[in-house]
Every structure is written in C-alpha cells, then in structure tokens.
C-alpha cells in the first residue's frame, strides 16, 4: 500500500516530461502524504487535488485502490472512466522486521519522473495498486501501478473505455526498481563513567 510518494522536480521538467503548457501552482512537492494537494493529469490537463477519497465508512481517506477489484467495488465502479496520472519521482514503503519498520525509497533505476495510475472523483484522487514486482516483494505485498511512459496517454484517454486500458494495470513490464532503505540509528552507548 502506497501511503507516501515523492515529487521532486522543477516545473519546467514536469512540463517537458508530461507535455504540459504550464503546471498549476499549489501542489505539494518533496514527500507527499495523504490529504496533501498533489498534481494530477487527466484528459483535460493538469489539476491540483487532495490525495484520498472521503468515504462514510472510514475516518481515514481512501488513498489506494486495488487494481484486481476496481471493476467489482461500488466505490470505484463509477470512477473507472475518470482516470488520471499522478506524477512522481519515487514512492515510500515500510519493510517490517518483527516490530521494527524500515522506510524504503523506491524509484525506477536511473531516476527520473514517472506516473502512477490514478482515479479521480473530480475533487480528490486515489492511486491504483497491484501485486509487487519481484525485486521489491520482500519490502511490501503491494505497490502502486507505475505506467510505461507510452501507456500514459492511453490510460487517461477519454475515448478509451476501462476494458480497453485494464491490461495497463499490470504496470510497465520493462520497469526496473531500486530500493534504498533508511538505516536505523546505532543503539545508544551506555555511559562509561556514570
């Protein structure tokens, strides 16, 4: 489950990578958290929306949607034609080891900007997730759907119904991910002359 992602890029790099005239102002950069206003791109261009749907059955925002059950869930069925791109430069996941949790920054090898598959209700968005790539399965049992650059226009294409783009939810088959884990601080040394 992706609960944090990173967007570290200059506006001109975002504009070039996603073929935008000019990205709007007011979106979070650096580490983006649920409910932050983030940049999304739909068929009508870029917008800024909070991350996470408000749902009546949970106090927490609904930040992720499982790709395998999108067409079955009543929450997502009306949104299958409201697809968006969520630009990012990395995402974060926590690996568990007993009670300890270790933060991992996960990004395509070689860096650069990419896009998650997302859904929007017109005011908020969620990120679609899938089974993890083999290289990072030891970190977490889910990962965001990272679209191949040449699949992004198809994902948000208003003329493409959901059945025509559903196979894109398998993610970019050529994608190679790198994970960098935060190292925990060393244990405090006892006072020698206490």
Residues designated as active site: 2, 93
Do 118 and 127 contact (CB within 8 A), yes or no?
yes
Do 94 and 102 contact (CB within 8 A), yes or no?
yes
Do 20 and 104 contact (CB within 8 A), yes or no?
no
Cα–Cα distance between 39 and 100 in angstroms, integer?
32
* Displacement of CA 91 from its chain's centroid (Å): 7
Do 103 and 57 contact (CB within 8 A), yes or no?
no
Cα–Cα distance between 138 and 134 in angstroms, integer?
8
């Amino acid at each position: 489950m992706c609960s944090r992602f990173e967007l570290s890029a200059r506006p001109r790099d975002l504009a070039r990578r996603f073929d935008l005239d000019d990205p709007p102002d007011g979106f979070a950069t650096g580490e983006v958290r649920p409910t932050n206003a983030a940049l999304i791109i739909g068929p009508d261009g870029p917008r800024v929306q909070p991350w996470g749907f408000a749902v009546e059955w949970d106090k927490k925002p609904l930040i992720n949607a499982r790709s395998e059950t999108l067409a079955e869930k009543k929450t997502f069925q009306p949104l299958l034609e409201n697809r968006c791109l969520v630009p990012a430069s990395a995402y974060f996941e926590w690996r568990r080891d007993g009670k300890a949790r270790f933060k991992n920054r996960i990004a395509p090898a070689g860096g650069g900007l990419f896009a998650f598959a997302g859904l929007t209700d017109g005011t908020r968005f969620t990120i679609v997730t899938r089974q993890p790539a083999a290289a990072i399965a030891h970190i977490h049992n889910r990962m965001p759907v990272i679209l191949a650059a040449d699949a992004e226009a198809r994902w948000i294409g208003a003329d493409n119904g959901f059945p025509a783009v559903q196979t894109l939810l398998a993610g970019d088959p050529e994608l190679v991910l790198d994970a960098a884990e935060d190292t925990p601080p060393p244990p405090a040394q006892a006072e020698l002359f206490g």
